Amino acid sequence: SLECILEPLSLPESPGGVAAVESSPYVPCIFCKECYLLAEQNQLLKHMIIEHKLVIADVKLVADFRRYILYWKKRFAEQPITDFCSVVRTNSEAPLEEQDNYFLLCDVLPEDRLLREQLQQKRLREILEQQQRERYDISFHSMCMFCDQEFTGNRSVLLNHMAREHGFNIGLPDNIVNCCEFLTVLQEKLDNLQCLYCEKVFRDKNTLKDHMRKKQHRRINAKNKEYDKFYIINYLEFGKSWEEVQSEDDRELLDNLEEDWSDWEEHPACAVCLFCEQQADTTEKLYLHMQKSHGFDFPKIKSEHGLNFYQQVKLVNFIRREVHHCRCYNCQEKFQSKGGLISHMEEMKHITFLPARSTWDQPQYYFPTYENDTLLCTLSDSEDLITEDQNEDIPVVSEDISNLKALKQSSVLNDLLYEENKNPKNLE
Query: Is residue 385's pLDDT more than 70?
Result: no
Query: CB-based contacts of 338: which residues, under 8 Å, 6+ apart?
Result: 276, 323, 326
Contact of 29 with 44, CB cutoff 8 Å? yes
Given its phi and psi angles, is residue 213 left (phi above 0), alpha (psi -120 to 50 degrees) or beta? alpha
Amino acid at 110: P
Query: Is residue 404's pLDDT more than 80?
Result: no
Contact of 140 with 191, CB cutoff 8 Å? no
pLDDT tens across 113-169, in order? 999 999 988 988 999 899 899 988 999 999 999 888 999 999 999 999 998 888 888
pLDDT tens across 349-361, in order? 888 888 999 999 9
Task: State the DSSP string of 261-292.
Answer: TTT----PPPEEPSSSS-EESSHHHHHHHIII
| 424/324 Cα distance (integer angstroms) | 15
pLDDT tens across 175-218, in order? 899 999 999 999 999 999 999 999 999 999 889 988 988 888 88
Write out 115-151 in H/E/C secondary structure.
HHHHHHHHHHHHHHHHHHHHHHCCCEEEECCCCCCEE
